[in-house]
Every structure is written in structure tokens, then in C-alpha cells.
Amino acid sequence: MHHLVIDIGNTNSKIAVFKMRELIHFESVHHLDQSRIAEIIRDYGISHSAVSSVSDEHKGLISFLKINTQYTEFSVRIQMGIKNNYGTGTTLGLDRWAKVIAAHRLYPGQDCFMIDCGTCITYDLLNRKQEYDGGSISLGLNMRFQALAHFTGRLPLVKWDKEILRIPAGSNTNNAILNGVLQGAVYEVDGFIAHQYANNNKVRIMITGGDAPFLMEQLKDRSYGHSLIHEPYLVLKGLNEAIAFEQHVQKN
Ligand SMILES: Nc1ncnc2c1ncn2[C@@H]1O[C@H](COP(=O)(O)OP(=O)(O)OP(=O)(O)O)[C@@H](O)[C@H]1O
Ligand SMILES: CC(C)(CO)[C@@H](O)C(=O)NCCC(=O)O
Ligand SMILES: [K+]
């Protein structure tokens, strides 16, 4: 039995196939193509599927999955014993909830702090009592570069090569922007983590999203560095756990 899970983000869609808990296929695409999904369903003999999306589009894709697989409607209704104290449950991003579900399964009974560095940077805490109180939503790196160029007369849109891990000193306009955006984001993430770590140095700190490798590199020498876990597939793992959970519920 193979599970197909899709994390539709604001920049990219992440697609994965799981065989039980093992991820056997992953791809990230800018545009979701239904024919590619049909191909994956056929090639991997997909039995079940689930989707998390940051928008209400993709109704066509979801109908297609409902017809061709056993589809799990992923929502905050799937709780697995977690108490959700978020005031606006209906507007909570499903990608955020999927990370909460994944953390709950990966490290049950432990404090888990999830950081997603994608289009936005999000911070979410699931505490050891299995309570979720929400977290923080902040600007992603690309958005910061775009905003500086968009809202000013004289600042260019700077190109950042995320493979270059060193942050330059702000010695000219280009580098001052690179330094402000990159070092600023590192200080921001560092501050959020340090705050959690000061409360509890056993907290599991998971970093996911497209810019996670950059952050991991920048933060590795911090006092909490040994507690950082790079979890590239956290949203996808949460969706996979939701499928497994729903199957279990249906059987019992
Ligand atoms: N097409 C692109 N152009 C520029 N930057 C990109 C592009 N795709 C990804 N990035 C970089 O990756 C980050 C987003 O990575 P990720 O793959 O996690 O995207 P995402 O799918 O938008 O995340 P999310 O699920 O939060 O929407 C951006 O901040 C940017 O640095
Ligand atoms: C914050 C993002 C954009 C991160 O992908 C997404 O989770 C979202 O659209 N959330 C909705 C608002 C909320 O989570 O309360
Ligand atoms: K919006």
C-alpha cells in the first residue's frame, strides 16, 4: 500500500510517495500537473492520498484523487489527541497543522518547535502535554528581497544564490541588502529558538522548507546547535501519518 501526499505551498508543490513510513519518492514542482499525478498513481500503485494546500484552488486535482485513490480529507478535524487552542481553527494553515501532526508522531510527549523557512517563515510549538497554542508567521527570505525592491525607489531586487552559505558584509548596496535580509532572518530565527531553548533545553527543534539548509548552516555553532534537526519532509510526513491514522480509525 503506497500513499501519495501533496503539500501545495505558495511557491512550490511538494509531492511524495510513502511505503508505510518510508519515503520512496519525492519531487518539488512549480506547477502541479494532473497528468504527472496520474502517472505517479499508476507507477507506484497508489492506494491512498492526502493533500494540504495554502489555497482553495485545486478542486479538480482533489476530485481526481477522490476518484482514483482512497482520499483522506486533511483538516484540523484530524487531531490524534492533540489539543488545538488556536483561536481560528478554520484559518490555520493546513501545512502548519501537518507539521504539528508529524512532530507528535516523531517525538511523542516531547516539546517540539517547528520552523518552516519557505515562502513565509513559520514557527509552531507543540508542547509535551500535546497542546498546540499556535506560533508565529513571518516573511520568507525571497519575500524580504522582493519587498525591499518593491517599496523603495532606489533598492534593486538582489539575486541571492542560496548555495553560497557565507553572508557578505554590507560593503555596498547589493551586499547591504544581502546582509540585512540574510543576517536579519538568521537573528530572527536564532531569537525564536533561543527563547524556546531557554525555557527547556530538551526541546526538539525541527527546521524544514526550501531555505532550511541555509539556516542549518548558519545556526549549527549555536549552543542549541546539537538539538537542531533538519526535517525536509515534515509537512509530507504529517499528511502520511494522517492517512495511516484515518485507516486505523476506519478499521476500529
Ligand atoms: N522560483 C523561485 N524563485 C525564487 N526563489 C525561490 C523559488 N523557489 C523557491 N525559492 C526559494 O525557496 C524559498 C521557498 O522554498 P520552498 O521550496 O519551501 O517553497 P514553498 O513551497 O513556497 O514553501 P511553502 O510551502 O512555505 O509555500 C523562497 O524563500 C526562496 O528563497
Ligand atoms: C502561513 C502559511 C502561508 C505558511 O505556508 C500558511 O500556513 C497559511 O496560509 N496559513 C494561514 C494562516 C494561519 O496559519 O493562521
Ligand atoms: K494572501
CA of 200 to the centre of ligand 1 (A): 31
| pLDDT single digits (tens) 1-12 | 899 999 999 999
Domains (range + CATH), the chain: 2-76 (3.30.420.40), 91-235 (3.30.420.40)
d(CA 13, CA 30): 6
From the CB of residue 119, how many other CB atoms can be counted at a distance below 10 Å? 19
Average pLDDT over residues 191-205: 96
CA of 192 to the centre of ligand 2 (A): 18
| pLDDT single digits (tens) 112-167 | 999 999 999 999 999 999 999 999 999 999 999 999 999 999 999 999 999 999 99
Among residues 52, 47, 29, which one has the least CA distance to residue 102?
Answer: 52
- Nearest atom in ligand 2 to the alpha carbon of residue 54 is 9
Q: What are phi and psi of 19, to 5 degrees?
A: -110, 110
Q: Is the pLDDT of residue 193 over 90?
A: yes
Q: What are phi and psi of 213, to 5 degrees?
A: -60, -40
For the Cβ of 96 lying below 6 angstroms from any atom of ligand 2, the answer is: yes
From the CB of residue 48, how many other CB atoms can be counted at a distance below 10 Å? 21
For the Cβ of 137 lying below 6 angstroms from any atom of ligand 2, the answer is: yes
For the Cβ of 91 lying below 6 angstroms from any atom of ligand 2, the answer is: yes
Atom 19, ligand 1: residue with shortest CA distance: 118
Active site residue 124: no
